[in-house]
Structure 1
Amino acid sequence: MILLQAQNVARYFGADVLFENINLDIQDNSRIALVGRNGVGKTTLLKMIVGETEPDAGEIVKKHGITIGYLAQNSGLESSRTMLAEMESVFTYLKEMEQQIHSLEEKMADPQLAGSPEYEQILRRYDQLQHDFKEQNGYGYENEIKAVLHGFQFEPADFDRPVSSLSGGQKTRLALAKLLLEKRDLLILDEPTNHLDIDTLTWLENYLQAYHGALLIVSHDQYFLDKVVNEVYEISHHHSAYYKGNYSHYVTEREQRQLKAWKEYEKQQVEIKKMEDFVQKNIVRASTTKRAQSRRKQLEKMDRLERPTNDLEGPRFAFTAAKTSGNVVLTVADAAIGYNDHVISGPINIDLRKHKRLAIVGPNGIGKSTLLKSILGKIPFLKGTASFGTNVQVGYYDQEQHNLHDKKTVLNEIWDDHPLMPEKDVRSILGSFLFRGDDVMKVVHNLSGGEKARLLLTKLALDKDNFLILDEPTNHLDIDSKEVLEKAIEEFDGTVLFVSHDRYFINKTASSVLEITPEGSTLYLGDYDYYVQKKAEQEEIQAAKEAAQPSTAPQPAPVSQSKLDYQQSKELQRQQRKAERTVAKLEEQLNHLEEQKNSLEKQMTQPENFNDPAKMSALQVKLDSVTSQIETTEEQWTEASMVLESFE
């Protein structure tokens, strides 16, 4: 059932077009991402949908009686109530229903009403209320409130705190918690992942996957979108385009559409050129003038394709190293971090080698940024040491952006560091980071967070260090800028150590993940998804071990230690056999796929196929599919083999 439609919606600013002919359909079970570069009008469209503003053209059609919940970007909950009271206000109708039930129970207890028509009427009303109360979770809403608050990292000790005493980030999380409890037909979220750590994001993803209403989401968190949405609307070139699938599918499909558009455009340009040449050569010849005139009419009537524009023109840059470092880049030995002799994490050990990219993850407050500053010597370790290898040159990206000078212009921020560089070269480099024209004369203090981030990256790229230490480098960047940064790091011929809560970014760039906990550091030799999988496997093994341990509760009869050891051994053996079966199955699949690949390659060399373009095209499609399956299966085999090795 359609809940809402945007039909040919437009927003104009005088003669300028922000967007027009925007079409969007929201069904009652939709999971939609609205994407596009900063400034294309995503938030403007959301405000039209919720009724805060009206479109300049087109209309927004809504189902009668639809309820919409809207979380604006960086908006927080303002209230004079306590946190718990504010959440309970969502369920006022259930409290009123409960009072009615108690009131009816008192009336039913009156012996004078027994057997009367009034009593029967009260009883029917009571039964209906009981049914409605139960159906609407009247007996469980208090636990539901606590579960949602816990999901957003609020502890029971916080529940009686006044909302007014919370920080801005806490108020934003509380506003989202209240929206979830309200269970609107359509939930519209503008950057809901701001101020959320990875654990909270994971909880929110799981919650939204089971949400009964429709979702319309704007977010720069690609990993979050991959987990939650299955449709994407993109605003580009002032228009909207629809893609079926999650964010990763959208990226792939967008590239394919762009490639197809270029091919069709270039094909038409070749056709136009041939026709124009024919007209030019033959229009004056008596024998061919009619044909030339006919071609000219065809040209005039032709529906010419617009030249495709690469709407992904974000910043363009690369990290390069002026010289090569030694093989050992960084060593951290038995380090402890914290403040005022209070250790918040330790021991931490790092052995980072050349060309590796190590991501540091961990809960908020565990000291990830502190670790980077301690490595750089800005904050002393409480214990342990850090040392750099031979010829290591360090470049540092500070998430607090303290490496910028508030009173300088963008141009001078770069030029002062590189005074011998000609101004035109400085402007050219800044242009590649989207500082164009008069933008270079902006004062740093007046820049947005995203502009400051791009300026910091400009400085970092120009320094040509061989070891980059990055603290939350994707903060403030839009998706296009993040994708450019991902590519720059992937192609960097140096070493990278970074802290990030951006799981998609970690997946794209990290060769290994270091988790920081109060007990110290643990290294995982893979990307973020591998880290999550490995953690889950470790927890499963630990749970099996704990299940095999003797219970502390009184037992009918004592169980011998040998019996417990036997049970524990049996459980671990079961887990190992499961891993062995998985590896064997994947090896069998690989063998089968390799046979298919060899067979297809052999068929493609046969004359009856080689000389038939249609057959070759069909065989190539099959070969590409099998090759992709082999790559995926090999990755699964590698991961399964590492699990098996953990038992050995």
Structure 2
Amino acid sequence: MITASGVEIRVGPRLLMDDVTFRVGPGDRVGLVGRNGAGKTTLTTILAGYGDPSGGAITRTGEVGYLPQDPRTGDLDVLGRDRILSARGLDAVIRGMRATEVTMASGDVEERDRAMRRYSRLEAEFTAKGGYAAEAEAASIASSLGLPDRVLEQELRTLSGGQRRRIELARILFSGAETLLLDEPTNHLDADSVVWLRDHLRAYSGGLLIISHDVDLIETVVNKVFYLDANRQTMDVYNMGWKAYLAQREADERRRHRERANTEKKAAALMAQADKMRAKATKAVAAQNMARRAERMLAGLEGERQSDKVARLRFPTPAACGKTPLQAEGLSRSYGSLEIFTDVDLSIDRGSRVVVLGLNGAGKTTLLRLLSGIDRPDTGEVIAGHGLKLGYYAQEHETLDVGRTVLENMKTAAPELDETQTRKVLGSFLFSGDDVDKPAAVLSGGEKTRLALATLVVSAANVLLLDEPTNNLDPASREEILAGLRSYEGAVVLVSHDEGAVRALEPERVLLLPDGVEDLWGRDYEDLISLA
């Protein structure tokens, strides 16, 4: 259980929320909503214990399982299966049992005796932590999230970002934590896994707080909604499901509007009366008191609800380039003994649009990293054509320098712009005032997405490599991004689970991985997008 009392949260001088009080107890399945930048990710990070509020108190009872938007695991040498089992400490016990079995089979008599005693202790610990039933449960969760055995037996460093994130989600779900905090849990999940996750979370008996732009997930799962109002710097708690919340929130806004109008009318009448009374010296004190009463009435009013701002993306005319600005010939990539893909050819003509499809782990992100020059292929080559200017959007935002501020990242992307021009572009992506001085490391997933896209806009790139560019965006900002993509005149290579993003691109061709088969785009391929 998590209880927040009178919580205030600030990022630098900016107030995100003030005097917020709520509780997430057993059986509560809370949808935390609000526009990008309202403070959803900041709040969940603090609730998980990775920061402190500026004021108020947060108490936690029982274990808390936290899935951040961009999970980072310290040790990338561990196997996927062991990472999941570590949620209950089973990984260390199993490794110990395996090592002890080797000693029991090959050691001398004295070593075997010690090993047998150690094995008995480890076996008892293994049983106490759930034993083989727990192993089977972990395997079942992993399979439901699209993680086959071959992936679980690989080291994390050999896996794609999407696979690592699903392993972290499986780990959190397997942990048995009394309270779960899940920030965009459906990112990188295929359609079947999303359906399974909905059912799993709906049946979860502990406390759950979830941030998601997947409306179907929120509508199906939550029984409470916490709305972070960025305009009023507060949280409204609705003890009801999603559809009822939408209706009630609109009713609340109408009520606030009526109350404000009535109060302003009364205050205006008081001020008018006070002005009349000031003309008479005998009534000056009464007039002053009446004016103060009117001022107090107006001071107690909540601000008018403002429309939530959205990012404005408009790509400039791409830099001039030759007929074929980017080519790849015979690309192959492996991680150790694991072959990702072999002998992939791709030719990107000026203004062409290609979507890359394939199951998770098929090498989509790996291909974009090779095309961008960040990684090198094992065989084959990437050929830059005349005038090539690449823009690369990485799904895990690796292109951002997290040690620099928002403004510094933009100046690096477009050194030719002066500060006024740079701030103007950032403003169109909802970074204004002191926001531009925040380190990129503290930005939420949605804010990092907006910053990364802003750096692409100022680059004048003529070939864009986009890896899941709509993840973490609120619906309104997502629509703006897709509108910008439709009007972009350069070439695009897109990797996305988002059917709307692929439709907005209007691709001409599709590249299927890991086989490297290229074909003209057709509606028959649409069913593969959400499975990719």
Q: Report the TM-score, using the length of structure 2 for normalisation.
A: 0.59
Match of 1:10 in 2: 7
Q: Decide whether aligned partners of structure 1 residues 447 and 466 sit closer, same or farther in structure 2, where only a CA change above 3 A counts.
A: same
Q: Decide whether aligned partners of structure 1 residues 262 and 182 sit closer, same or farther in structure 2, where only a CA change above 3 A counts.
A: same
Which residue identity lines up with residue 202 of structure 1 in the other structure?
Answer: V
Q: Can you list the C-alpha shifts for 1:374-431, whole angstroms capped at 9, x where unaligned?
A: 8889999x99x9999xxx9976233176877899986676568767755433333334
Structure with greater proportional helix content: 1
Q: Matches of 2:277 and 2:44 in 1, distance apart?
A: 55
- Higher alpha-carbon deviation: 332-341 or 24-33: 332-341
Q: Matches of 1:529 and 1:264 in 2, distance apart?
A: 50
Match of 1:631 in 2: none
Please, which of 228, 252, 275 is the counterpart of residue 235 of structure 1? 228
Which residue identity lines up with residue 236 of structure 2 in the other structure?
Answer: A
Shift of 1:216: 1.8
Q: Decide whether aligned partners of structure 1 residues 250 and 331 sit closer, same or farther in structure 2, where only a CA change above 3 A counts.
A: farther
Please, which of 21, 24, 27 is the counterpart of residue 22 of structure 2? 24
Q: Decide whether aligned partners of structure 1 residues 428 and 367 sit closer, same or farther in structure 2, where only a CA change above 3 A counts.
A: same
Quick check: which has more Rg, 1 or 2?
1
Shift of 1:147: 1.7
* Percent of aligned pairs with the same amino acid: 21
1:202 and 2:194 matched: yes
Match of 2:423 in 1: 427
Which residue identity lines up with residue 499 of structure 1 in the other structure?
Answer: L
Q: Matches of 2:60 and 2:27 in 1, distance apart?
A: 17
Shift of 1:149: 3.2
Q: Matches of 1:245 and 1:216 in 2, distance apart?
A: 14
Q: Decide whether aligned partners of structure 1 residues 394 and 269 sit closer, same or farther in structure 2, where only a CA change above 3 A counts.
A: farther
1:489 and 2:482 matched: yes
Q: Matches of 1:313 and 1:261 in 2, distance apart?
A: 20
Match of 1:546 in 2: none
Match of 1:144 in 2: 137
Q: Report the TM-score, using the length of structure 1 for normalisation.
A: 0.51
Q: Decide whether aligned partners of structure 1 residues 358 and 301 sit closer, same or farther in structure 2, where only a CA change above 3 A counts.
A: same
Q: Matches of 1:488 and 1:321 in 2, distance apart?
A: 14
Q: Decide whether aligned partners of structure 1 residues 227 and 324 sit closer, same or farther in structure 2, where only a CA change above 3 A counts.
A: farther
Match of 1:47 in 2: 48
Aligned partner of residue 302 in structure 1, secondary structure: helix
What pairs up with 1:547-626 in 2 under 5 angstroms? none
Q: Matches of 2:473 and 2:85 in 1, distance apart?
A: 38
Q: Matches of 2:329 and 2:362 in 1, distance apart?
A: 14
Q: Decide whether aligned partners of structure 1 residues 427 and 358 sit closer, same or farther in structure 2, where only a CA change above 3 A counts.
A: same
Shift of 1:307: 1.8
Aligned partner of residue 31 in structure 2, secondary structure: strand
What pairs up with 1:174-185 in 2 under 5 angstroms? 174=167, 176-181=169-174, 183-184=176-177
Q: Decide whether aligned partners of structure 1 residues 487 and 23 sit closer, same or farther in structure 2, where only a CA change above 3 A counts.
A: same
Please, which of 290, 299, 306 is the counterpart of residue 294 of structure 2? 299
Q: Matches of 2:404 and 2:156 in 1, distance apart?
A: 39
Aligned partner of residue 22 in structure 1, secondary structure: strand
Shift of 1:433: 3.9
Which segments of 5 or more consecutive residues in structure 1 lack a partner in the other structure?
A: 92-132, 537-648
Equivalenced residues, count:
468
Match of 1:213 in 2: 205
Q: Decide whether aligned partners of structure 1 residues 502 and 296 sit closer, same or farther in structure 2, where only a CA change above 3 A counts.
A: farther
What pairs up with 1:319-468 in 2 under 5 angstroms? 319-322=314-317, 338-339=332-333, 344=342, 360-369=356-365, 396-399=391-394, 423-433=419-429, 436=432, 453-462=449-458
1:34 and 2:32 matched: yes
Q: Matches of 1:9 and 1:146 in 2, distance apart?
A: 41
Q: Matches of 2:148 and 2:136 in 1, distance apart?
A: 13
Q: Matches of 1:205 and 1:369 in 2, distance apart?
A: 24
Question: Is residue 7–residue 21 contact of structure 1 (8 Å, CA) maintained in 2?
Answer: no
Which residue identity lines up with residue 141 of structure 2 in the other structure?
Answer: V
Aligned partner of residue 302 in structure 2, secondary structure: coil
Shift of 1:205: 1.6
Q: Matches of 2:159 and 2:365 in 1, distance apart?
A: 23
Q: Matches of 2:189 and 2:238 in 1, distance apart?
A: 29
Which segments of 5 or more consecutive residues in structure 2 lack a partner in the other structure?
A: 92-126
Q: Matches of 2:243 and 2:355 in 1, distance apart?
A: 21
Q: Can you list the C-alpha shifts for 1:103-132, whole angstroms capped at 9, x where unaligned?
A: xxxxxxxxxxxxxxxxxxxxxxxxxxxxxx
Shift of 1:268: 4.5
Shift of 1:319: 0.6
Question: Is residue 330–residue 344 contact of structure 2 (8 Å, CA) maintained in 1?
Answer: yes
Q: Decide whether aligned partners of structure 1 residues 320 and 280 sit closer, same or farther in structure 2, where only a CA change above 3 A counts.
A: farther
Q: Can you list the C-alpha shifts for 1:450-509, whole angstroms capped at 9, x where unaligned?
A: 77654443343345678755233346xx545x7425314325533684635564874895
Please, which of 271, 275, 296 is the counterpart of residue 276 of structure 1? 271
Match of 2:179 in 1: 187
Q: Decide whether aligned partners of structure 1 residues 30 and 504 sit closer, same or farther in structure 2, where only a CA change above 3 A counts.
A: farther
Q: Decide whether aligned partners of structure 1 residues 76 and 418 sit closer, same or farther in structure 2, where only a CA change above 3 A counts.
A: closer
- Higher alpha-carbon deviation: 341-350 or 152-161: 341-350
- Higher alpha-carbon deviation: 35-44 or 250-259: 250-259
Q: Decide whether aligned partners of structure 1 residues 187 and 339 sit closer, same or farther in structure 2, where only a CA change above 3 A counts.
A: same
Q: Decide whether aligned partners of structure 1 residues 90 and 34 sit closer, same or farther in structure 2, where only a CA change above 3 A counts.
A: farther
Q: Matches of 2:6 and 2:153 in 1, distance apart?
A: 45
Please, which of 468, 472, 479 is the counterpart of residue 468 of structure 2? 472
Match of 1:123 in 2: none
Tell me: higher relative CO, structure 1 or 2? Use CA pairs within 8 A at least 6 residues apart: 2
Shift of 1:171: 7.5
Which residue identity lines up with residue 471 of structure 1 in the other structure?
Answer: D
Question: Is residue 22–residue 239 contact of structure 1 (8 Å, CA) maintained in 2?
Answer: yes
Q: Can you list the C-alpha shifts for 1:29-68, whole angstroms capped at 9, x where unaligned?
A: 33222345365641355236x9x98996467596xxxx54
Q: Can you list the C-alpha shifts for 1:529-566, whole angstroms capped at 9, x where unaligned?
A: 9965xx89xxxxxxxxxxxxxxxxxxxxxxxxxxxxxx
Q: Matches of 2:443 and 2:432 in 1, distance apart?
A: 14
Which residue identity lines up with residue 47 of structure 1 in the other structure?
Answer: A
Question: Is residue 29–residue 213 contact of structure 1 (8 Å, CA) maintained in 2?
Answer: yes
Aligned partner of residue 425 in structure 1, secondary structure: helix
Which residue identity lines up with residue 302 of structure 1 in the other structure?
Answer: M
Q: Matches of 2:392 and 2:6 in 1, distance apart?
A: 41
Match of 2:103 in 1: none
Q: Decide whether aligned partners of structure 1 residues 270 and 228 sit closer, same or farther in structure 2, where only a CA change above 3 A counts.
A: same
Q: Matches of 1:162 and 1:419 in 2, distance apart?
A: 39
Q: Matches of 1:374 and 1:15 in 2, distance apart?
A: 41
Question: Is residue 391–residue 461 contact of structure 2 (8 Å, CA) maintained in 1?
Answer: no
Question: Is residue 7–residue 22 contact of structure 1 (8 Å, CA) maintained in 2?
Answer: yes
Q: Matches of 2:388 and 2:243 in 1, distance apart?
A: 35
Shift of 1:226: 5.3
